[in-house]
Amino acid sequence: MKAFRKTLPGRRSFLSAGAAGLAATFWSPDDAEAATQNVNTRSRPSDLKITDMRIAMISRGGPRGIPVIRLDTNQGIYGLGEVRDGASKTYALILKSRLLGENPCNVDKIFRKIKQFGFHARQAGGVCGVEMALWDLAGKAYNVPAYQMLGGRFRDQVRIYCDTTMSPDPKIYAQRMKERLDAGFTYMKMDLGIGLIEKTPGTLTRPLGLQLRDVNQVEHMFTGIEVTPKGIEMMADYVAQIREIIGMEVPLAADHFGHIGVNSCIKLGRALGRYNMAWLEDMIPWQYTQLWKQITDAIDVPTLTGEDIYLKEPFKVLCENHAVDIVHPDLASSGGLLETKKIGDLAQEYGVAMAMHFAGTPVSFFANIHCAAATENFLALEHHSVDVPWWEDLVDGVEKPIVRKGFVTVPEGPGLGIRLNDEACKAHLTEGGYFDPTPEWDNEVSWDRLWS
């Protein structure tokens, strides 16, 4: 038997000999190298380099465009990301010179390099959009979906909730929400602002002559606006009429109350307790932790904030103080996929759930889908473009319709799992060309180091 084994070639020698024989038959060494040097095999991620950043301004519905980022590489693959709705494309372009030559697979390293250029609210949009594009590139390089690189998924489908166009008539609004239920949505949110009662005498106490439109740039506690018992009763009755139509079984959250004082927030929260609200959102600015805790401790309705917060550290302050019941990051300004997953994981340590805010194109939407799939304490993802008939046409490569009975299937394709439908995107550009060159941003020089 030993002698017989010695006469058989080993597996490696057999394969080597076979490969050499084929090469000798079909290719010379020079020909083989020439034939493969320009082929994108996705087998050399260690040699991948960012070579360009380009941006297209694409609508999500309405006249305002959203900057969609494309990061190109030396191996012919590219990554897609998106700057948050309402943010300037300059927030992304200023990062271009810091990215050129970097290997996009080093996502965390690059994020730590550029995160100093973000801040709370829309100012973080550039950093987060780049981070999305890096995950898209890394996934394409290794041929795996983004959720897998975040540690795998907890769910195959992601629950969606959506806003519904307001009406001062609660019966009209209730019917619109009933249509959401009939379409299969399983989580609801409404706007419930003091604009509903502003024209009714005796509902608001405020400095005489002050118009609600004049206080949008003033933090809630400094406007002098409080809701009277009559106003509280009217707002609660509005919710009651909604509940009569949609029932008590479906979760119903509320947002956009107006810039009112803490005591009015507490009175309104107590009045809404009987309607078993899913959450009351952004009643006051997120940074007032102790005031949030005062509201949360005083009412029996879950509280929620977070769409304007950048990075996980402020979320930790809210969670460790149990200032809110649910955190609500917007991935396009909270730090991107990995940072938002970290926010969810951090919140879970304190028994706090995570919902996710979103308003944008399908690029950022699917970045959210991957993050939501990979985060255990996730509740539901917002979707602001449900009523835009062409919104889903902007991308291909995923199941259509994208939203089915209130859920989205997590894509299995590499990276974000999508590709742009160029013709549809071009049809909805709001300014400029379609991923025009940006050489003017190639050579910006700055001493960005954070230490001496």
Domains, the chain, in order of start with CATH, read: 45-143+436-441 (3.30.390.10), 157-415 (3.20.20.120)
Cα 235 to Cα 178: distance, rounded to the nearest angstrom? 19
Rounded to the nearest 10 degrees, the angle between the axes of helix 337-349 and helix 312-320 is 10
The per-residue pLDDT for range 45-65, each reduced to its tens digit, is 999 999 999 999 999 998 999
Our separate counts of H helices and E strands in the chain read: 17, 17
Query: By C-alpha distance, which of 308, 171, 194, 211 is closest to 254?
Result: 194
Tell me the sheet residues that pair with 436: 55
**Per-residue pLDDT at 43:** 54
Query: By C-alpha distance, which of 6, 151, 126 is closest to 71?
Result: 126
Q: H helices of 249-390, where?
A: 262-272, 289-298, 312-320, 331-334, 337-349, 362-373
The per-residue pLDDT for range 350-397, each reduced to its tens digit, is 999 999 999 999 999 999 999 999 999 999 999 999 999 999 999 999
Cβ pair 329, 315 in contact under 8 A: yes
pTM of the model: 0.90
Cβ pair 399, 369 in contact under 8 A: no
**Per-residue pLDDT at 445:** 82
**Per-residue pLDDT at 189:** 96
Cβ pair 418, 398 in contact under 8 A: yes
Cβ pair 319, 352 in contact under 8 A: yes
**Per-residue pLDDT at 21:** 42
**Per-residue pLDDT at 449:** 85
Q: Residue 82: helix, strand or coil by DSSP?
A: strand
Tell me the sheet residues that pair with 326: 304, 353
Cβ pair 252, 246 in contact under 8 A: yes
**Per-residue pLDDT at 41:** 52
Cβ pair 220, 287 in contact under 8 A: no
**Per-residue pLDDT at 37:** 53
Low-confidence ranges of the chain (pLDDT < 70): 1-43
